[in-house]
Amino acid sequence: MKEFSFKGEDGKITMSLDPEKITGDQAFHGKIEVKAGNYHVKSNLYISVSELNRLFTDLNRLLESRKGALVFTNHINERNIECNLSFDPDGKGMIVQGVFVESPERKNELFFKIKSDPKTIHNTLKELESIIKKFDVARKDKSF
């Protein structure tokens, strides 16, 4: 398993991907763990190769420009994570917020908001880059 995390002072989102379990529709099978305050959830997760590539590209662009926002959503099988990243108004901190949906038909949802900083999010970018290099994600991405 290879993982990347969005960490902050009041929570963490960790996505662990299994390189041995890439599905026929070019998706990584993995696990997600969301901790926000006193709330905590662990579940299965599918992320397509193109979603992973897009997250890496958008996150890199966001950190370089230090303005704007990005939205990360997985659409493979069932959409269960939506994560918005943006700089706070003073530009010094970052906000990671969104929702994790365990099962759309049961409407089990965990809303989260985690305060972070650019240095910590830059570490997330490095973790993503390592995954992309290790598993040759760019080559497997059929959307490029």
The domain locations on the chain are 2-137
Confidence at residue 22, expressed as pLDDT on a 0 to 100 scale: 67
What torsion, rounded to 10 degrees, do the Cα atoms 28, 55, 78, 46 define?
A: 10
Confidence at residue 144, expressed as pLDDT on a 0 to 100 scale: 39
Identify the helix (H) or strand (E) that includes residue 102.
strand 94-103
Residues 80, 109: Cα–Cα separation, whole Å: 9
The model's confidence at residue 141, banded by pLDDT at 50, 70 and 90, is: low
Confidence at residue 24, expressed as pLDDT on a 0 to 100 scale: 59
Partnered with residue 69 across adjacent β-strands are 86
Crossing angle of helices 49-65/118-135, nearest 10°?
Answer: 150
Confidence at residue 47, expressed as pLDDT on a 0 to 100 scale: 87
CATH number of 2-137: 2.30.31
Question: Residues 8-60: pLDDT tens digits?
Answer: 999 999 999 887 776 656 778 889 999 999 999 999 888 888 888 899 999 99
For residues 137 and 127, the answer to whether their CB atoms sit within 8 Å is: no
At residue 116, φ and ψ (nearest 5 deg) are -135, -165
Question: Residues 79-111: pLDDT tens digits?
Answer: 789 999 999 887 789 999 999 998 777 778 999
